[in-house]
Amino acid sequence: MLDQHKKKETIIKKIENLRREIEEHNYAYHVLDAPSISDAEYDKKFQALKELEKQHPELITPDSPTQRVGAKPLKEFTQVNHEIPMGSLDNAFSEEEMLAFDRRVRQLLDTTDEMEYVCEPKMDGVAVSIRYENGLLVRAATRGDGETGEDITQNIRTIKMVPLRLRGSSIPNIVEVRGEVYLPKKGFAELNARSEARCEKIFINPRNAAAGSLRQLDSAITQSRPLAIYFYGIGSKPSPEIPTTQTELLSTFKSWGLPVCPLTKKVKGLAACLAYYQSMNEKRQQLPYEIDGIVCKVNSQDYQTQLGAVSKRPRWAIAYKFPAEEVETTIESIEFQVGRTGALTPVARLQPVFVHGVTISNATLHNMDEIHRKKIHIGDRVMVRRAGDVIPEVVSVVKSAAKTQKILLPTHCPICHSKVEHIEGEAVARCSGGLFCPAQRKEAIKHFASRRAMNIEGLGDKIIDQLVDTKLVDNVADLYSLSLEQLADLDRMGEKSAHNILDALQTSKKTTLARFLFALGIREVGEATAKQLANHFGDLAHVMAATEDALQAIPDIGPVVAKHIMAFFAEKHNPKVIEKLIAAGIHWPKVEKKLSALQGKTFVLTGTLKTMGREEAKEKLERLGAKVAGSVSSKTSYVVAGEEAGSKLLKAQTLNVSILNEEEFLDILRKNG
């Protein structure tokens, strides 16, 4: 017994030593940029640790270097509210704008002294926020809209440069750090080469690839892509307090094991910022990653606090962008591409031209309004711009050829031949064959199966991609004729999973008219509009036969939305798919048309309700004919204030909007339900 105990202690010590050695080597490689052992030696130690943990799974810890991947693929991303909003930077495109920024900073701080700035390359990547508790990585999120992002913890854990546990002894109990995830140029080229060999999607640029990698529901896919990260800022006030300057903060990050960009530099005065900008612009081609400018930040944290922010944009920092590169070439032909939402985009096929290390043979023309405004024709000599994260675009006509051809918008979709819908006043023309068009097929099916639509559990993006690619499914109605054998033959799909999907398809047949209308993916018909249509007309046949005037009689449905609805049902393919869906057994209870005293009233929900979640409260209100808005205005009828209500409650008080506590809110629901 004693020998077994000693043996276990020896194994524990060996595992701990290997973990410590591996983390030290990771720190030397990713943070200090000074590898201490060869890749082969590192791999040997890593494999030894994996083998020991395999033999003794009870000794595995969340922060072990082996535990970067292992969780099951997610069904969907959950939302994360940022404690401190993730703002975006103002841009400068000239020395005059940088001069104005520097002058504004010093005026606000009431000083004539030269300002101390920290300059760093503006990485062409994706901003993320990572939360550590007691040194352990617990959550990571995207920027999202600045207030709310998506939980990408599983994917961030796959990036080797991100420590799973912070180093050192003076680590805050809770700290949220922010950084930029990017894909190095070499990794980007290798990723596209692999994708091309497999006939898979080719990424436009490294930023696009990094963003796509972070939004994979299966973290194993993210791990297969060589993502990197540099940290640059703080997302929550830790205890003890953060250092007093940006440079000290970055030094602290390094001591915690967080990699920071080695090209970051402290400078004095605007002239030094401009010199740094020029230096980065000259060496950008030689850098191992893409940059599209520099970022200048006031170094003092106290000054940053005094300067504050306007509209979520900090006054103490600015991005000075590199100029876009422009070249001259000829438009040889025009092709209209159909996007996943049916939008027709004119693309110019160009005489190939070399720009910024890339051969450009096509460029976007955006839409017909742009073509008319710039007076572009086939055969014209044009100026083409390529700017960092932007697809090449035609800027202007340099010289019109003697013989040119006018560019005309197709009357029918080049993919499915459905009619093209181009509403007056709108720039974008769209294919009306939503449920039928192959260009929109995958997105239409994904939307149809989503939780808020038909809620077909287990039918994720990858399975839908396979079903379409193998031609098992041409439209949403085909989902209900799938067999067990067809599903079980898909990659990464067993018989049990196939059974589960068939069960989910069967369950989804019992739905509501509002959900069904939303699932059809009619342009600009969201959940609220779908509920209004269902409640107003009562059955599907009346919705499909509704005139423009009848549709506009519904609150919040104007001429544009009415035209979208009519165009969708007028396209002969869509009603045929709907007939197949009904024939497959999709049904819903009869809609009882009933007006309540809440019809047309606008509610705003804030804080936490004890008796129900916010989604349930929203659904109850909308069922009674009310609208639920995300912000308070003078047109708001009521604000429902739960526990820990925030700024919306304060605004309601300022505007004298009626405020309901939870008990009063429940009473209103009871009286009108």
**pLDDT (mean) for 1-24:** 72
* pLDDT value of position 72: 60
Mean pLDDT across the chain: 85
Q: What is the pLDDT of residues 163-199, one digit of tens each?
A: 988 988 788 888 999 999 999 999 988 888 887 777 6
d(CA 435, CA 522) in angstroms, rounded, equals: 9
- Residues labelled as active-site residues: 122
Residue 641 pLDDT more than 50?
yes
DSSP-derived letter for residue 96 is H
Total-model pTM: 0.52
What's the average model confidence in pLDDT over 333-340? 86
Q: Using CA atoms, how far apart are residues 593 and 129, in angstroms rounded to an integer?
A: 47
Q: What is the pLDDT of residue 494?
A: 83
Compute the C-alpha angle 441/443/446, nearest 5°: 110
pLDDT of amino acid 593: 60
Q: For residue 49, which phi and psi values (nearest 5 degrees)?
A: -65, -45
- From the list 288, 306, 286, 289, the residue with the least C-alpha distance to 298 is 306
Angle at 156 between CA 154 and CA 159, to 5 degrees: 120
Contact 431, 354 (CB under 8 A): no
- Spatial CA neighbour of 386 closest among 363, 417, 416: 363
- Residue 439's pLDDT band (boundaries 50, 70, 90)? confident
Dihedral sign (CA 127, 131, 137, 140): negative
**Average pLDDT estimate for 632-645:** 88
pLDDT bin (cut points 50, 70, 90) of residue 536 is: confident
Q: For residue 378, what are the β-bridge partners? A: 405
Whether the per-residue pLDDT at 26 is higher than 80: the answer is no
Token pair recorded at residue 573: 């393919």
Label residues 109-119 b or e (16+ Cβ within 10 Å = b): beeeeebbbbb
Beta strands 90-92; 317-321: pairing state: parallel
pLDDT at residue 389 greater than cutoff 50: no
pLDDT, tens digit, 9 for 90 and up, residues 645-655: 878 888 888 89
| HSE-CB for 88 with a 13 A CA cutoff | 10
Domains annotated for the chain, with CATH where assigned, are: 2-59 (1.10.287.610), 90-321 (3.30.470.30), 325-399 (2.40.50.140), 441-508 (1.10.150.20), 513-583 (1.10.150.20), 602-672 (3.40.50.10190)
**How high is the pLDDT of residue 177?**
93
The pLDDT tens digits for 351-368 are 988 765 567 888 888 888
Q: In this model, does residue 46 exceed pLDDT 80?
A: no
Q: Which residue has the higher pLDDT, 238 or 373?
A: 373
